[in-house]
Amino acid sequence: MTPMDHVRLAIMLDDSAALGQAISDGADVRVADCNGVTALHAAASFGRVQCVRVLIDAGVNVDAATDDYTTPLHLAALNGTEPCVQVLLRAGADLDLRDVNGRSAAHHAAWEGHLECLRALLDHGPAERAHDMDRFTPAKFAAASGHTDCFLLLLDRGSGIDELDRNDWVAAWRQATPDEAARLLRYTAEPLLNDIRRSLRRMKPLPRSVAVLDAMSARRPAPARLSGLLRP
C-alpha cells in the first residue's frame, strides 16, 4: 500500500493515530485526486472530526475546492457533521465560498435540514442572505425541503422575507409543528394567512399547523352586520 492508501484507510476507519502515522511516513495529504477531492474532503464528509484536526495540523488547505468547487465545509454541512463544521470554521474555512451552482454551506445545511450545522454557520457570520445562481436563499431551500425549523432559524437571523413567495410560505406551514406554526405567525403577512389556510385544508393528511390557523381565525372579530343599520 502507498502512503496515500494508508491515509484513505485511516479516514475510512476513523483512525486518527494511523492517519498521523501515514503523514509522518511521507503521505502528502495536500494533493487532490483527478476530481479535486482531497483527504480533508473525505474526512469532513464522513464526519471524522479527529482526522479533520490531524489534517489541519498537517497544513492542508481548509478551502480546497473540487472540480465543481465543493469545499470540505460544503460537505460537512451537507452531511450534517456539525463537529466538523465547527473545527473547519475555527481553522478559517470561508463560509461564503460557493459550489458550481452558487450554493454556500448554508444552502446545503438548510436543504438537508441540519439545524445545528446551520446554526454553527450563522453564528460564525452572516450566511442567511446568500444567493445561489437562481437567486435562491437558504430560507427558500429550507422551506422547499420541508425543514421549517431551519426556515425559522434563518428568519430569526434576518433572512429577507421579501425574497420569499407564496409557495415558500405554504411549504413551511405544511411541515410545521404546532409550536413552529405559532412562531410562523410572527413572520407571515396577514393577507397571506387565509390563502395558506385554504391551501393546507386541501392537503391529505391535514397538516398539524392548520389547527393554529383555525384558532387564529376563530379569535378574529366577526365583521359588523350592516343589514340592521340600513334604512328600508
- Taking only the tens place, the pLDDT of each residue in 177-199 is 999 999 999 999 988 999 999 99
Would the pLDDT of 15 be above 90?
Answer: yes
Q: Which letter does DSSP use for residue 228 in this model?
A: G
pLDDT at 120 over 70: yes
Residue 229's pLDDT is what?
A: 42
Q: What is the pLDDT of residue 2?
A: 85
* Arithmetic mean of pLDDT, 167-183: 96
Q: Count of H helices and E strands in the chain?
A: 14, 0
Rounded to an integer, what distance in angstroms lies between the CA atom of residue 198 and that of residue 186?
19
CA distance 49 to 172: 32
Q: Does 232 score more than 60 pLDDT?
A: no
Q: Are 103 and 71 within 8 A, CB to CB?
A: no
Q: Which domains does the chain have, with CATH numbers?
A: 1-72 (1.25.40.20)
- Specify the pTM: 0.90
193: Cβ contacts below 8 Å, ≥ 6 apart: 185, 213, 216
pLDDT single digits (tens) 48-64: 999 999 999 999 999 99
Instruction: Please state the rounded mean pLDDT for residues 170-182.
Output: 95
Q: What would the pLDDT profile of 92-111 be if each residue is shown by its tens digit? A: 999 999 999 999 999 999 99
pLDDT for res 220: 56
Instruction: Give the pLDDT of residue 214.
Output: 87
